[in-house]
């Protein structure tokens, strides 16, 4: 059962999405060699709370922080701490916020100072894959048209799509139906309808798609140690395409 949101609910999700975008903007500007991931986390929490939102990840299934900070071969769910970012690192930052009971969820990957050609290309391809996935999310399309659009971009670039973690519906909880895989044939799964709200989030590895979880039971890393990138937006399907909810490019 995929929830269809009312205009009022979508309005609330725009508010949550806007706060998520503000959090990511602040963190992106703070990323530099020498900063710790815990410092980034405190900044994000401050931005959330000073904009009337509650961090969505903190306490979710026991996760201890506002951000997931995943560096280099870390794919998702990295825990902020004492680690200092170094020139040449790649950091994926995933966060969520709740406003009036509605959730927003988004992620970006940011270079720390000067990074390798490969890292820059991985960032660019993952971002494009998200954009193409969002472009495929229109009323009347099938859910897996999103998945296929993402996989096509990623594999054409010689990278691989993580299988073990997927996007998801979002609304009054962070995870709702349906799951939104980042791979698969087109034309499958439910037909998308206006008012469905989805978090689309390609996780892309420079090497193999295989991942494993560190002993901290949170941090997901590439099995082969290759770099990984992650971009995410929460969107609402409309009659003529998708509207991005986790953005600042709109009046609240």
Residues that bind Mg ion (CB under 5 A): 105, 199, 201
Nearest approach in angstroms of CB 201 to Mg ion is 5
Q: Which is nearer to Mg ion, 9 or 201 (CB)?
A: 201
> Packing angle between helix 143-156 and helix 117-136, nearest 10 degrees?
160
Nearest approach in angstroms of CB 211 to Mg ion is 16
State the CB neighbour count (10 A cutoff) for residue 173.
15
Nearest approach in angstroms of CB 179 to Mg ion is 11
The answer to whether the CB of 233 falls within 8 A of the CB of 219 is no
Nearest approach in angstroms of CB 114 to Mg ion is 29
Q: Which is nearer to Mg ion, 40 or 199 (CB)?
A: 199
Q: Which is nearer to Mg ion, 40 or 107 (CB)?
A: 107
User: How far lies 80's CA from each of 24, 27, 97, in Å?
Assistant: 15, 13, 17
Q: Which is nearer to Mg ion, 161 or 199 (CB)?
A: 199
Nearest approach in angstroms of CB 82 to Mg ion is 26
Task: State the Cα–Cα distance between residues 74 and 52, nearest whole angstrom.
Answer: 31
Q: Which is nearer to Mg ion, 132 or 201 (CB)?
A: 201
The DSSP secondary structure of 190-237, one letter per residue, reads PBP-TT-EEEE--EEESS-S-EEE-TTSS-EEETT---EEE-BEEEEE
User: How far lies 182's CA from each of 112, 132, 251, in Å?
Assistant: 26, 11, 30
The answer to whether the CB of 80 falls within 8 A of the CB of 69 is yes
Q: Which is nearer to Mg ion, 105 or 115 (CB)?
A: 105
Nearest approach in angstroms of CB 182 to Mg ion is 12
Task: State the Cα–Cα distance between residues 66 and 128, nearest whole angstrom.
Answer: 26
| Residue 183 exposure: Cα atoms within 13 Å on the Cβ side | 13
Q: Which of 149, 167, 195 shows the shortest CA–CA distance to 9?
A: 195
């Amino acid at each position: 059962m995929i929830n269809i949101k009312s205009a009022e609910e979508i309005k609330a999700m725009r508010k949550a999405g806007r706060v998520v975008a503000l959090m990511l903007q602040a963190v992106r500007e703070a990323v530099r060699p020498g900063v710790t991931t815990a410092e980034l986390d405190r900044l994000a929490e401050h931005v959330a709370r000073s904009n009337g939102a509650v961090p969505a990840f903190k306490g979710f299934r026991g996760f201890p922080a506002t951000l997931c900070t995943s560096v280099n071969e870390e794919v998702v769910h990295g825990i902020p701490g004492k680690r200092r970012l170094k020139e040449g690192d790649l950091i994926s930052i995933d966060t969520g916020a709740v406003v009036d009971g509605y959730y927003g969820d988004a992620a970006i990957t940011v270079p720390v100072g000067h990074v390798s050609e490969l890292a820059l290309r991985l960032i660019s391809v993952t971002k494009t894959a998200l954009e193409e996935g969002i472009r495929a999310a229109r009323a009347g399309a099938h859910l897996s048209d999103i998945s296929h659009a993402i996989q096509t971009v990623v594999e054409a670039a010689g990278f691989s799509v993580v299988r073990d973690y997927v996007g998801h519906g979002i609304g009054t909880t962070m995870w709702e139906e349906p799951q939104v895989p980042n791979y698969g044939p087109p034309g499958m799964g439910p037909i998308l309808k206006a008012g469905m709200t989805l978090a689309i989030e390609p996780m892309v590895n420079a090497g193999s798609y295989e991942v494993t979880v560190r002993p901290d039971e949170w941090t997901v890393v590439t099995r082969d140690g290759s770099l990984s990138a992650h971009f995410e937006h929460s969107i609402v399907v409309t009659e003529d395409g998708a509207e991005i909810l986790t953005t600042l490019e709109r009046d609240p």
